[in-house]
Chain A
Amino acid sequence: DAGVIQSPRHEVTEMGQEVTLRCKPISGHNSLFWYRQTMMRGLELLIYFNNNVPIDDSGMPEDRFSAKMPNASFSTLKIQPSEPRDSAVYFCASNPGAPLYGYTFGSGTRLTVV
């Protein structure tokens, strides 16, 4: 099992540009989570999906952020337009779908918006 796969590992973009982060969860995991990590705010849950359906997006900072999960093996997090304050490490995590299971995190995407 390759684990949760995220791409790209690093992204540097100019303010105002669109950024798309990608995630492939572990096969068979029904829940997928997007987190953002910064020194100031720690690990913040942005949105999570159960069986490809968004369940809670209350953590999405604003309308510039959107997430999709078109099928069980792929999810995207898009920021349009990007701003310097979006600079952070974005993690995708998955689990089998019940709160009694631990999350498996991907290696993250380090986003820098200049």
Chain B
Amino acid sequence: GQQVMQIPQYQHVQEGEDFTTYCNSSTTLSNIQWYKQRPGGHPVFLIQLVKSGEVKKQKRLTFQFGEAKKNSSLHITATQTTDVGTYFCAVSPGQNFVFGPGTRLSVLP
């Protein structure tokens, strides 16, 4: 079945530092989605990437799809305490999406 890995599993940063999480697939992807889940909350859709090498930005968040469409990254510039949560990538082997294990981000004020 579809295998998707995320690294790191956990990341602790000081407020103001940058943060990056990586999503890696064993197969070529048609698209990839990113979600954020706050502690005690539910996953919230952030963005979808479709094209090889695609880069999209949302304020301090930058999302990138690898040229080979086997990996993706989410980079947060100058983290804030509101960025705390778990970031999941999700990949689609068919009509549904398989979620990665997530990267849990802690931001120390």
Contacts and interface: CB of A to CB of B under 8 A. Distances in A.
A91 B43 contact: yes
B96 to A, nearest CB: 5
B85 interface: no
B96 A104 contact: no
A104 B41 CA distance: 13
A102 B48 contact: yes
A103 interface: yes
B72 interface: no
Contacts of A100: 31, 48, 50
Contacts of B88: 43
A61 interface: no
Interface stretch (B18-26, B59-67, B75-83, B98-106): B98-106
Interface residues of A, number: 22
A45 B42 contact: no
B96 A43 contact: no
B95 interface: yes
Mostly helix, strand, loop or mixed at chain A's interface? Answer: strand
B96 A42 contact: no
Interface of B: 30-31, 33, 35, 41-48, 50, 88, 90, 92, 94-102
Given A42-B102, A56-B96, A101-B48, 5 more contacts: A35-B99, A50-B95, A99-B30, A99-B31, A99-B96
28 contacts: A31-B95, A42-B99, A42-B100, A43-B88, A43-B102, A45-B98, A45-B99, A48-B95, A56-B95, A56-B96, A99-B30, A100-B31, A100-B48, A100-B50, A102-B33, A102-B45, A102-B47, A102-B48, A103-B33, A103-B35, A103-B90, A104-B45, A105-B42, A105-B43, A105-B44, A106-B42, A107-B41, A108-B42
